[in-house]
Amino acid sequence: MSRRLHLDTNALIALSDPEHALFLEVERCLLGGGIVATDAVAWHEFVRGPVLPEDVTRALLILENRVLDLTRAIAEKAAELFNASGRRRASTADCLIAAACLDSDAELLTRNVGDFMPLVVHGLKLVC
């Protein structure tokens, strides 16, 4: 099975800088035959900007338009993660991103390790 990498918002932002460590991780994944995707929540955070139109275009090309929709199953998994990780007020978006990542059996590429660390015990795999 090929590697699956799910991008958090800061990883999407890093796609505009070919020298950035997160960009290089995406490149390694793709060169190894892996699949790169994101979800509607991270995409929303990315495109609300500020972001340049060419950065959006570049991200869509790298993702091959793989911006995953939120489904009922993902919403319910996010609620489960939210409740199990202490109902942290600011963690709703993180729980949705993590649930989408888990649903696609991928590793989450992020710089916000602290935000997602409470979800690792629930099966989330982080790449940072």
**Structural domains for the chain:** 4-127 (3.40.50.1010)
Per the listing, tokens 């570049």 go with: 58
Strand 107-109: give its sheet, edge to edge: 67-68, 35-39, 4-7, 107-109, 125-127
pLDDT in tens, 27-76: 999 999 999 999 999 999 999 999 999 999 999 999 999 999 999 999 99
- Is the predicted pLDDT of residue 1 greater than 80, yes or no? no
95 vs 59: CA distance, rounded Å: 22
The answer to whether 127 and 109 are in contact (CB under 8 A) is yes
| Entry pTM | 0.95
